[in-house]
Amino acid sequence: MASNKSNEAVESFPMNAGDGPYSYTHNSFGQKKGIDSVKALIVEGIAEKLETKPSQNIVRIADLGCSVGPNTFFAVEIIIESVKLKFQTDGIDSDSLEFCVFFNDHVSNDFNTLFKSIPLDNKYYAAGVPGSFHDRLFAKASLDFVHSSYALQWLSKVPTEIVDKQSPAWNKGKIYYTNSPKEVEEAYRKQFGKDIESFLNARATEIVSGGLMSFIIPGVPPSSKCTLTAVMDLMGCALMDLASMGLIEEEKVDSFNLPLYFPTPNELGSLIENNGYFSVENMEALVVHSTSDVHSTALHLRAGSDILITQHFGNHQIIEKLFDQFKNKIIESSVLTDPTYKPSYSLFVLLKRKSY
Contact (Cβ atoms closer than 8 angstroms) between residue 79 and residue 211: no
DSSP characters over 85-144: HHHHHTT---TT-EEEEEEEE-TTS-HHHHHHTS-TT--SEEEEEES-TTS--S-TT-EE
Q: Which CB sits closer to a copy of itself, 115 or 277? A: 115
Q: Which CB sits closer to a copy of itself, 137 or 308? A: 137
Q: Which CB sits closer to a copy of itself, 7 or 340? A: 7
Least separation, in Å, of the C-beta of 141 and a copy of itself?
Answer: 8
Q: Which CB sits closer to a copy of itself, 102 or 261? A: 102
Least separation, in Å, of the C-beta of 6 and a copy of itself?
Answer: 4
Q: Which CB sits closer to a copy of itself, 135 or 161? A: 135
Q: Which CB sits closer to a copy of itself, 143 or 184? A: 143
- Can you list the alpha helix ranges (DSSP code H) found in the chain? 29-49, 71-89, 111-116, 182-206, 227-244, 250-254, 265-275, 294-313, 318-333
Whether omega before 70 lies within 30 degrees of 0, making that bond cis, reads yes
Alpha carbon distance 300, 291 (integer Å): 11
Least separation, in Å, of the C-beta of 21 and a copy of itself?
Answer: 22
Least separation, in Å, of the C-beta of 120 and a copy of itself?
Answer: 5
Least separation, in Å, of the C-beta of 278 and a copy of itself?
Answer: 21
Count Cβ neighbours within 10 Å for each residue of 68-87 and write b for 16 or more, e otherwise. Answer: bbbbbbbbbbbbbebbbebb
Q: Which CB sits closer to a copy of itself, 117 or 279? A: 117
Q: Residues with Cβ < 8 Å from 306, sequence gap 6 or more? A: 16, 22, 319
Contact (Cβ atoms closer than 8 angstroms) between residue 136 and residue 97: no
DSSP characters over 205-230: HHEEEEEEEEEEEEE--TTS-BHHHH
Least separation, in Å, of the C-beta of 258 and a copy of itself?
Answer: 25
Contact (Cβ atoms closer than 8 angstroms) between residue 159 and residue 187: yes
Least separation, in Å, of the C-beta of 185 and a copy of itself?
Answer: 35
Least separation, in Å, of the C-beta of 356 and a copy of itself?
Answer: 14
In the complex, the residues that contact a copy of itself under the rule CB under 8 A are 1, 3-7, 57-58, 98-100, 102, 107, 110-112, 115-120, 122-131, 136-142
Q: Which CB sits closer to a copy of itself, 141 or 286? A: 141
Alpha carbon distance 39, 147 (integer Å): 12
Alpha carbon distance 102, 61 (integer Å): 6
